[in-house]
């Protein structure tokens, strides 16, 4: 059962149903005199392991059962939809990865994940420039996911919206072998094997999976193979080593591109004609290793050292017209990237006291580096009028070596300065440097460099009004640099767009966490109201054929509310609901592009327009029936997503939509065997909605259709030796 936390505020934005959420949160005042025992969920996203109920921040923990929930276990979007404030969209396009945003940060990304920091077992899945990938995350071996939102995200540096920490399982004490398989609509299927155990002081957990799909839409087939290995050695009572290995191989993922409104409504399964003409697609190969040392230095001191290295190769074929690629400044229609990345983090933690009250202090240094060899090729080899010569690698048009380095120092303290009060303070200094060396001089030398740095403080205060009602407030300043993908193109072509500045933000939130006894047992509710003001917001300037350019557009304002409630209804019924509302707007007017090609913005966007790609409401609700001692579970889920504007002018929008899902599973145990069968039916009403949008798409191909009714069947068989 997930543990959820969040905030309130003095003046809600228009249309926010905060009185209802406030009633939920303050229901804790009706709790019984004795504290309700819920089984505390301990989280570590604030780098200080403590019960989530006692953390003055919005943080959620999703356990292994929640991550499973009779799902395909391929995409983070399957489970993150349960977290209020997080929008995780499966675009039905494995060539473009997921769309994940936190409180509106990251919604503009058309490639990969940005605005959030991603970690797997403490190893960064986000590069030092702020760009992250999720394709290598193995959900079948995940033990829990922690999601941190709001001001305390700045504790992780170059990020504004949130932090997603994935923790995979440790092996032992028993030896367990498991085989899993799932198959469903559109010839989607996944097969996997897992082996975990313990030999003396050594633990191991190995997982390998292969996934394939023909895709909901035409020209959207994909296949992906993943491996995750975690090996731990308790070398002594004070010393523990952990080695983490993972890899992903995606030989070809077809890219169907977006659809215009007319095409989407006529046939949501169709593909943009230029996608087949240029055979738009992407391949990815990545491998990574990380080593973690946990050393206890004495009764009150601990040291953690993390080091990692990885390589990633990406080749992507875009739908840039061949005639446009012939310009001297054009980098071509094929992106060929080779990246290697490495880094380390050294952290010291001291648990002591100050003025006779418990105090924990953490100090650390982190250094992260990514080298990128970026090449561009024409996506044709002959006359542009010959279809047989399109969608193939042609002449070299770009060749550069890029490097980004982030060096950070951080200090934080968690002090229970009174019986019912707790303060969490932090400060981080980040320095991020970008360097580009142009090796293709046929269109001039586009070499250059830039450095951005910022100090990002954060402070949180919690008051325990009663054992079952905690109130808190927090504030933080953050910044996010442009990523290499956002710097990659200037509006007129050529090298990196070093004219982009980092965005800076000021965030605050207030919230309540409460628990009480009602109906058949313990209930938990959380609520948060927040505000984030950003300067030099980075927004899409042009977006055509899979290639985007960006600009700074001034000030923005995000105001929102997150709330969740969970508990038993009796008769083996369980209820969970998460609601988020968000009003995200530009505070300054600016000029933008509305069609391709466009090198100089000329269309006005008025102050007050909504930021595109951000729904004004998301809702997840679930009613589950789990008869005791039967191994049986069934549930009905409901997901609602509000209207999402497609561009800065708010000229069109994906309508609000909702869908109901059904799932059922049955677990049997006999001897050393554990068998589990499951089935699910998504979008029971067979609605045909736009699941996501491509922000500011220059050809008006904004819409990425969501599937109609789909089904999934699965089987897990495990043996404990």
Whose CA is closest to 314, among 293, 299, 334?
Answer: 334
Kindly state whether residue 10 falls inside one of the protein's structural domains: no
Kindly state whether residue 321 falls inside one of the protein's structural domains: yes
Query: Does the pLDDT value for residue 247 go beyond 50?
Result: yes
Across the chain, mean pLDDT equals 90
Kindly state whether residue 362 falls inside one of the protein's structural domains: yes
Q: How far is CA 642 from CA 20, 22, 118, 162, 569, in A?
A: 18, 21, 26, 21, 28
Burial of 50 (0-12, 13-18, 19+ CB in 10 A): middle
Kindly state whether residue 135 falls inside one of the protein's structural domains: yes
Report the alpha-carbon distance of residue 74 to residue 580 in Å, rounded: 25
The predicted model gives 669-687 an average pLDDT of 96
Tens digit of each residue's pLDDT (9 = 90 or more) over 401-445: 999 999 999 999 999 999 999 999 999 999 999 999 999 987 788
Whose CA is closest to 470, among 460, 484, 459?
Answer: 460
Beta bridge partners of 195: 177, 206
DSSP category for residue 499: T
Q: Of the ranges 330-334, 477-481, 540-544, 666-670, which one carries the lowest mean pLDDT score?
A: 540-544
**CATH code, domain with 600:** 2.40.170.20
Where in the sequence is the domain holding 111, given as residue range(s)? Answer: 18-720
The predicted model gives 307-315 an average pLDDT of 97
Whose CA is closest to 368, among 454, 309, 453?
Answer: 309
- Could you tell me which residues come within 8 angstroms of residue 386 by beta carbon, excluding any fewer than 6 positions away? none
For the chain, how many structural domains are there in total?
1
Kindly state whether residue 2 falls inside one of the protein's structural domains: no
97: left (phi over 0), alpha (psi -120 to 50) or beta: left
Neighbours of 383 (CB within 10 A): 10
Kindly state whether residue 615 falls inside one of the protein's structural domains: yes
Kindly state whether residue 3 falls inside one of the protein's structural domains: no
DSSP category for residue 16: -
The predicted model gives 514-533 an average pLDDT of 94
pLDDT for residue 12: 36
Q: Is the whole-model pTM more than 0.85?
A: yes
Taken as a whole, the chain contains a residue count of 721
Whose CA is closest to 601, among 645, 552, 635, 566?
Answer: 552
Query: Does the pLDDT value for residue 17 go beyond 50?
Result: no
Query: Does the pLDDT value for residue 596 go beyond 90?
Result: no
Kindly state whether residue 9 falls inside one of the protein's structural domains: no
Per-residue confidence band for 3, with pLDDT thresholds at 50, 70 and 90: very low
Q: What is the helix (H) or strand (E) element at residue 680, kind and residue range? A: strand 673-682
Tens digit of each residue's pLDDT (9 = 90 or more) over 487-504: 888 876 667 888 899 999
């Amino acid at each position: 059962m997930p543990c959820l936390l969040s905030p309130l505020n003095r003046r809600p934005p228009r249309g926010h149903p905060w009185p209802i959420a406030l009633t939920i949160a303050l229901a804790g005042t009706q709790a019984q005199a004795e504290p309700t025992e819920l089984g505390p969920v301990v989280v570590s996203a604030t780098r200080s392991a403590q019960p989530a109920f006692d953390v003055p921040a919005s943080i959620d923990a999703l356990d292994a059962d929640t991550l499973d929930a009779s799902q395909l276990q391929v995409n983070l979007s399957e489970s993150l939809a349960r977290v209020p404030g997080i929008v995780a969209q499966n675009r039905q396009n494995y060539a473009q990865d997921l769309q994940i945003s936190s409180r509106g940060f990251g919604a503009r990304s058309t490639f990969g994940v940005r605005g959030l920091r991603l970690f797997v077992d403490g190893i960064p899945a986000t590069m030092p420039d702020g760009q992250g990938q999720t394709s290598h995350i193995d959900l079948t071996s995940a033990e829990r996911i922690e999601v941190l939102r709001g001001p305390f995200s700045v504790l992780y540096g170059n990020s504004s919206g949130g932090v997603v920490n994935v923790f995979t399982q440790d092996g032992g004490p028993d030896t367990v072998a498991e085989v899993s398989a799932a198959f469903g609509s559109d010839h989607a299927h996944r097969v996997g094997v897992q082996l975990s155990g313990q030999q003396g002081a050594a633990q191991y957990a190995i997982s390998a999976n292969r996934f394939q799909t023909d895709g909901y839409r035409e020209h959207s087939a994909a296949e992906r193979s993943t491996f995750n290995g975690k090996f731990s050695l308790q070398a002594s009572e004070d010393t523990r080593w952990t080695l983490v290995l993972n890899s992903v191989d995606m030989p070809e993922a077809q890219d169907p591109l977006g659809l215009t409104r007319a095409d989407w409504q006529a046939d949501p399964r169709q593909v943009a004609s230029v996608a087949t003409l240029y055979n738009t697609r992407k391949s990815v190969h990545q491998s990574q290793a990380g080593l973690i040392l946990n050393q206890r230095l004495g009764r009150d001191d601990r040291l953690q050292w993390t080091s990692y290295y990885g390589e990633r190769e990406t080749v992507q074929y875009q739908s840039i017209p061949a005639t446009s690629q012939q310009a001297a400044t054009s980098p071509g229609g094929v992106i060929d990237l080779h990246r290697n990345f490495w880094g380390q983090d050294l952290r010291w933690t001291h648990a002591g006291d100050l003025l006779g009250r418990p105090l924990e202090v953490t100090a650390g240094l982190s250094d992260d580096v990514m080298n990128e060899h970026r090449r561009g090729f024409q996506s044709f080899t002959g006359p542009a009028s010959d279809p047989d010569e399109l969608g193939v690698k042609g002449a070299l048009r770009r060749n550069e070596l890029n490097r980004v380095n982030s060096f950070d120092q951080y200090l934080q303290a968690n002090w229970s300065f009174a019986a019912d009060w707790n303060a969490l303070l932090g400060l981080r200094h980040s320095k991020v440097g970008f360097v580009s060396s142009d090796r293709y001089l046929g269109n001039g030398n586009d070499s250059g460099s830039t450095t951005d740095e910022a100090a990002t403080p954060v402070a949180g205060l919690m008051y325990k009004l009663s054992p079952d009602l905690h109130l808190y407030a927090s504030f933080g300043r953050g910044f996010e640099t442009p990523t290499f993908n956002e710097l990659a193109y200037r509006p007129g072509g050529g090298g990196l767009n070093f004219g982009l500045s980092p965005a800076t933000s000021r965030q605050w939130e207030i919230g309540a966490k409460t628990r009480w006894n009602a109906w058949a047992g313990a209930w938990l509710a959380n609520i948060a109201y927040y505000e984030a003001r950003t300067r030099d917001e980075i927004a899409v300037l042009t977006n055509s054929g899979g290639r985007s350019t960006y600009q700074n557009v001034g000030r923005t304002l995000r105001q929102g509310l997150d709330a969740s409630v969970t508990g038993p209804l009796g008769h083996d019924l369980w209820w969970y609901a998460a609601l988020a509302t968000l009003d995200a707007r530009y505070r300054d007017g600016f000029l933008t592009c509305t069609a391709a090609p466009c090198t100089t913005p000329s269309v006005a966007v008025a102050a007050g327009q909504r930021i595109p790609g951000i729904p004004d409401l998301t809702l997840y609700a679930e009613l589950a029936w789990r008869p005791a001692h039967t191994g049986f579970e069934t549930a009905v889920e409901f997901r609602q997503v509000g209207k999402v504007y497609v561009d800065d002018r708010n000229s069109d929008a994906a309508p609000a939509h909702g869908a109901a899902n059904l799932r059922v599973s049955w677990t049997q145990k006999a001897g050393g065997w554990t068998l589990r069968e499951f089935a699910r039916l998504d979008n029971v009403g067979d609605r045909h909605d736009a699941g996501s949008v491509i922000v500011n798409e220059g050809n008006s191909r904004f819409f990425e259709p969501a599937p109609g009714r789909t089904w999934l069947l699965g089987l897990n068989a495990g043996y404990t030796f």
